Amino acid sequence: PLAAGLGELRAAAARWVGRRFGAALDPDTEVVPTLGSKEAIFSLAQIVVNRASGRDVVVVPTPGYPVAARGAAFAGAEVLEAVLDPARGWLPDPDALPWDRVALVWLTSPGNPTGAVAPPALMDELAARCRAHGAVLASDEAYCELWFGDRAPHSALELADRTGVLAFHTLSKRSSMPGYRSGFVAGDPELVAALKRFRPSVGTAPQTFVQRASVAAWDHDDHVAQARARYAAKREVLLPALLDLGLEDVGGDASFFLWLRVAAGDDDDEAFAARLLTEVGIVVAPGSYLGTGGSGHVRVALVPNLEACARAAELLAGWRP
Ligand SMILES: Cc1ncc(COP(=O)(O)O)c(C=O)c1O
């Protein structure tokens, strides 16, 4: 199998980007299929970072999804954690980066664990600063189809100039297909061409039957609207019960996570999560496990079914931390 995958799959991905973001992509030069998005996120630093040039800093958001940082470390890059500030809505500050040494900037929007959504102006500014300094902007948009408010998250693919920009997409969250391992990377044709040269060395496109299933998934939107409604229903039963405990909802309004500040005076997130597990039987992720800047918070994943979320809310109503 070729790294480029099936033409039908690249075309379906481009059709979805057109419908969802109003952005036009050339399926042959601007899209490459991936095995989910994780492996592509992990390996991007290997094609972007050039240690000999002294441009070897990879910027990752923290608290965040840890794979980009690990991939950068394996590529021998210096990993710079951009600590997300609640006062900035958990979004990165372009002025805080050492631009002369930056090779790659990761943006995760919507954020994991924060659910924060980057406005187009921030994407534009990060892309422009990356371009001016010869760096790449990598936009991890795994949760872009899952939002709770009335505004759908934007994509870096909407930028008028996509030079130096790549966006990472996956069917894992959108179509609840994590086991299929199917996604794609899209953006700057030079970077896509580099990925097509690199990827045969480490793996190729998903199996053909997975690619064909993926065409169907990208071409249909009804099941995505249904998934979005399911996550919203689960959030509605669970969030009030968590707020009643004194937790504060400090996250954005997208992804399938709740990002909560542990009650003041009891801000040891690990201890809180341990008590929730042992005394109520509910598993949440302590924010301090999700990187610098996460302590004092917990991440609740709305992944059990609605019945289980309702049961969790009932159990929480009878518990006091
Ligand atoms: C922010 C983010 N990006 C990417 C991924 C990777 O998902 P997949 O490899 O299933 O596409 C995840 C998975 O949890 C994630 O949270």
Instruction: Give percent above pLDDT 90 in the chain.
Output: 94
Listed in sequence order, the residues at least 6 apart from 11 whose beta carbon sits closer than 8 Å to its beta carbon are 27
Mutate to test the pocket of ligand 1, among 41, 139, 172, 299 (most ligand atoms within 8 A of CB): 172
17-76 residue pLDDT tens: 999 999 999 999 999 999 999 999 999 999 999 888 888 999 999 999 999 999 999 999
Q: Which H or E element spans position 275?
A: helix 269-275
Evaluate if residue 193 carries a pLDDT over 80.
Answer: yes
- In this prediction, residue 183 carries a pLDDT of 98
Mutate to test the pocket of ligand 1, among 84, 144, 173 (most ligand atoms within 8 A of CB): 173
Q: What is the rounded CA–CA span in Å between residue 214 and residue 200? A: 20
> 280: which DSSP letter?
I
How far is the centre of ligand 1, averaged over its atoms, from the C-alpha of 37 (Å)? 6
User: What ligand 1 atom has the least distance to the C-alpha of 178?
Assistant: 10
| Residue 188 vs residues 157, 177, 180: alpha-carbon distances, Å | 9, 26, 26
112 close to ligand 1 (CB < 6 Angstrom): yes
Are residues 203 and 35 in contact, defined by beta-carbon separation less than 8 angstroms? yes
- In this prediction, residue 50 carries a pLDDT of 84
257: number of Cβ within 10 Å: 25
SS3 content of the chain, % helix, strand, coil (to 5): 45, 20, 35
How far is the centre of ligand 1, averaged over its atoms, from the C-alpha of 67 (Å)? 9
37 close to ligand 1 (CB < 6 Angstrom): yes
- In this prediction, residue 53 carries a pLDDT of 82
- In this prediction, residue 319 carries a pLDDT of 92
Give the residue-averaged pLDDT of 194-207.
Answer: 93
Evaluate if residue 321 carries a pLDDT over 80.
Answer: no
Give the residue-averaged pLDDT of 207-228.
Answer: 98
Question: What is the pLDDT confidence band of residue 267, given thresholds at 50, 70 and 90?
Answer: confident
- In this prediction, residue 52 carries a pLDDT of 81
126 or 321, greater pLDDT: 126
Give the residue-averaged pLDDT of 224-234.
Answer: 98
- In this prediction, residue 166 carries a pLDDT of 98
What the chain holds in terms of domains, given with CATH numbers, is 7-219 (3.40.640.10), 222-317 (3.90.1150.10)
65 close to ligand 1 (CB < 6 Angstrom): yes
- In this prediction, residue 124 carries a pLDDT of 98
Give the residue-averaged pLDDT of 207-232.
Answer: 98
Question: What is the pLDDT confidence band of residue 228, given thresholds at 50, 70 and 90?
Answer: very high
Evaluate if residue 266 carries a pLDDT over 90.
Answer: no
Q: DSSP of 214-272, one letter per residue? A: HHHHHH--HHHHHHHHHHHHHHHHHHHHHHHTT-EE-S-SBSSEEEEEPPTT---HHHH
Determine the 3-state secondary structure of 299 from DSSP: strand
- In this prediction, residue 60 carries a pLDDT of 98
